[in-house]
Amino acid sequence: MKYLPIYLFLVCMACNAPKSAVSVTETTVREEVNPVLKPKNVVLLIGDGMGLSQITAGNYFNGNKTALEGFPVIGIHKCHASNKLVTDSAAGATAFACGEKTYNGAIGVRADSTPVQTILEELEDLGYSTGLIATSTIVHATPASFIAHNEYRKNYEDIALDFLDTEVDYFVGGGKKFFDRREDERNLIEELEARDYTVETYLTDFKDCNIPDTGNFAYFSADKDPLPYDQGRDYLLDASKAGLSFLDNHGENGLFLMIEGSQIDWGGHANIPSYVLTEFYEFDLVIQEVLDWAKKDGETLVVVTADHETGGLSIRENSTMDSLDIEFISTHHTATMIPVFAYGPGSELFAGIYENTAIYDKMRKALQLK
């Protein structure tokens, strides 16, 4: 008991310590881990149809490694649409772009078909530089959901018109025919050029494009659908590198860029393992490029996810690291929950299990938008 007075004195001192001393220590530690608490830039990468099984197969196909291993924060989202447990790309991308559950086939509209502003449109209004890149047509469901508002995803010519309503600074994808060979006989490429766009097409290899220092830039990679990666399509990595540089030099407030590896999904629909694997391989190269850029930049939030899984891909029991035996259970999408990977300031928001609409909410919260 002779030490009791000393013990009581120490307890009393601890209880009376300034609370600010504790909070300063916590803040210091937090800033050491993440010195920039608000990102300047957001890059959202969507591997269409890329569920956990596609990631697993792609990892083994790539020598048991993937750029996704460089992401410290992992979450899971629930991808159902408003009217179906199994979503399509339109409803899935609208959830990311608008924070709204909607019906399958809907582009940038609520379940009652009323338009809702997308995060790209909001950031464009706030002075951010914005971009869309896809290995599908640029009017396909995923990129369209960030810039267009339409009751049905296959109204491609109507969706193309919406590119004249929102001045996205940089876009790359297929679908040239929906802009310059239209039923209404309008030439939207000429109209874009009149609005300070430099427009290049697949007649010029992307590497040889003249990307301007000022104005906006568009590249049509195909008249309709771009080729698969294993048949010679090779612009996604170069377009992503150029897009980051271009947007970083356009607008002081920051940038928002959505990059879609569209054809992982198409390989799943076709039930062709090599199609899925080679598309994932290319997308993984892009993920690594963006991650490396973000690490150097220090102010960029990178989020990688998928809208849904396609094909019910499974790796069978006789597979080895060098020889994958892959089987599909469907030629359509499935309802499995989808992984989310995040890096950079604000990435901690993406841990846990949540609805797909929360990705929109979390990006806005990270950017501290009201």
Q: Which residues pair with 73 in a beta bridge?
A: 342
Q: How far is CA 148 from CA 9, 98, 142, in A?
A: 67, 11, 10
Q: Is 156 exposed, middle or buried (0-12, 13-18, 19+ CB in 10 A)?
A: buried
| Distance of alpha carbon 264 from alpha carbon 278, whole angstroms | 8
Distance CA 289, CA 286 (A): 5
Nearest of 169, 257, 254, 147 to residue 217 by alpha carbon:
169
Beta-carbon count within 10 A of 5 CB: 9
Q: Which of 20, 23, 82, 89 is catalytic?
A: 89
Question: Which alpha helices (H) appear in 99-170, and where do they start and end?
Answer: 119-125, 141-144, 156-161
Question: Shortest CA distance to 159 belongs to which of 167, 151, 169, 168?
Answer: 151
Q: Which two tokens stand for residue 133?
A: 């890149």
Q: What is the DSSP letter of 227?
A: P
- Whether 136 is a known active-site residue: answer no
Q: How far apart are CA 256 and CA 68, in angstroms?
A: 20
Residue positions annotated with a catalytic role: 89
